[in-house]
Structure 1
Amino acid sequence: MSRAHSAPAPEPPAPEQPAPEPPAPEQPARGRPRSEAVERAIVEGVIKLLDDGVPLAELSIERIARTAGVGKATIYRRWPGKEELFVDVIRQAEPPDPELPGTSMRDDLVALLEQLRQRALLARSSTLLHNVFAQMKSSPKVWKAYHGTVVEPRRRITREVLRRGQADGELRADLDIDLLDDCFIGPMLLRTVMRLDADLPEGLSETIVDTLLAGLRPVSSPGA
């Protein structure tokens, strides 16, 4: 006799899954505002010491940290040394780098020279900037840091504008770019660095650029 097959036992019902919890609200980012506040305190500490007449040579990281109310390690995490910190302080006190119009080589050159003119006017009216620039000349390490992070990048921008002008036919192709850079920037630097009593009127940037371009543009061939 064959045995009757018994019906399989029903599977137990699956346990109910708990409803997913709603995602936690995003927390506001921490650290960045605090970091900016710390950096601002350090920069303001340097400015206070300079305003108090402390020479650059006597501004140690320890003294800056004490004035800013931070530890020395906090400063070194942001700047490798006091020379780079000084450069940042100076850059924040200067006018921002200009946004180039991009409409022509001439307009871009005017914008670059105008930034130099505005910077010079600010330095003449600011005892802080005037004293810092004077002291930088006697501090090779600070001047090297300023030249490498501020001056040279600005010169690269000017040279690129001049190369673009040559490519677009706004400038003679046989001219040396490095020499042209000196020719355009030189007159403004002469008035702002060596002739401190020279006027820096509005329109000076346009006058310099247009005077030079009058003799540097390509000459059309007869009958062209």
Structure 2
Amino acid sequence: MRVRAEKQDRDRAAAAEAGPEPRRGRPRSAAAERAILDAVAGLLEAGEPLGSLSIERIARTAGVGKATIYRRWSGKEELFVDVLRDIEPPEPVVSGTEGLADLRLLLESIRRRGQAERSSALLHNVFAQMKSHPRLWDEYHRNVIGPRRAAMLAAVRRAVDAGELRADLDVELMDDLFLGPMLVRTVHRPDAPLPEDLADRIVRTLVEGLAPRSGHR
């Protein structure tokens, strides 16, 4: 018994020195993921419709096997959402503690995204096609638009807690009031100007209010 216990102690010590056991299975390859995302973007840019893109075609173009794609994405909808994320402007880094300051950053990111869609035929065509694919559109809303809206709501709540906005108003309504003008400019009015100070002007106008000031009637 003593010899067995000593052997177990030696085995445990050797295992500790060797470090953690390596994970089983093939490691994720950043190069493979990059090749797959680039392949989809390249096919779309060449005019391939979303509906006609198959996993086989994507794998062949990327130079990988179909299994490599399915290890990373459950299907085309999930893959396409990551492609859209990849070709869009990066998400802003907000403090997570500020209110109106973070709100301005989030609005500015929407303005930049609107500029990118206007200047990128790829983005414009993909979004036009995506609306005819309900599953992909729902996936995009859930994974991209949903988190953006949640981030804006959180920023509005922080602004309320900091005394920057009124506490007696509905937070979601206030969020819509801030977001609405930017969406009108970037989505509904593709010819509308998108000046660099647009986010700041929207926030300032709503905070100051639209009613005329005393003596300015």
Q: TM-score, normalised by structure 2?
A: 0.81
**Deviation digits for residues 94-132 of structure 1 (CA, Å, limit 9, x no counterpart):** 111111246742211110010001111111111111111
Which residue does 1:214 correspond to in 2?
A: 208
2:90 to 75, 78, 96: 96
Q: Which runs of 5+ in 1 are unaligned?
A: 1-22, 25-30, 217-224
Query: Is 1:148 equivalent to 2:138 in the alignment?
Result: no
Shift of 1:203: 0.3
In 2: Cα distance, 1:118 partner to 1:149 partner: 19
SS in 2 for 1:78: coil
2:158 to 150, 156, 164: 164
SS in 2 for 1:161: helix
Q: Which runs of 5+ in 2 are unaligned?
A: 1-16, 19-25, 211-217
What count of residue pairs does the alignment treat as equivalent?
A: 190
1:201 to 185, 190, 195: 195
Q: What is the percent sequence identity of the aligned residues?
A: 61
Q: Is the 8 A contact 2:110 2:182 kept in 1?
A: yes
SS in 1 for 2:29: helix
Moved over 2 A (4+): 101-104
Give the root-mean-square deviation of aligned CA atoms: 2.2
Query: Is 1:85 equivalent to 2:79 in the alignment?
Result: yes
Query: Is 1:117 equivalent to 2:115 in the alignment?
Result: no
Indicate the structure with greater helix content: 2
Which residue does 1:67 correspond to in 2?
A: 61
In 2: Cα distance, 1:95 partner to 1:132 partner: 15
**Deviation digits for residues 143-200 of structure 1 (CA, Å, limit 9, x no counterpart):** 1111111100111111111111111211111111111111111111111111000000
In 1: Cα distance, 2:92 partner to 2:133 partner: 28
Greater RCO, CA 8 A, separation 6+: 2
Q: Answer with 1 or 2: which has the greater Rg.
A: 1
SS in 2 for 1:174: coil
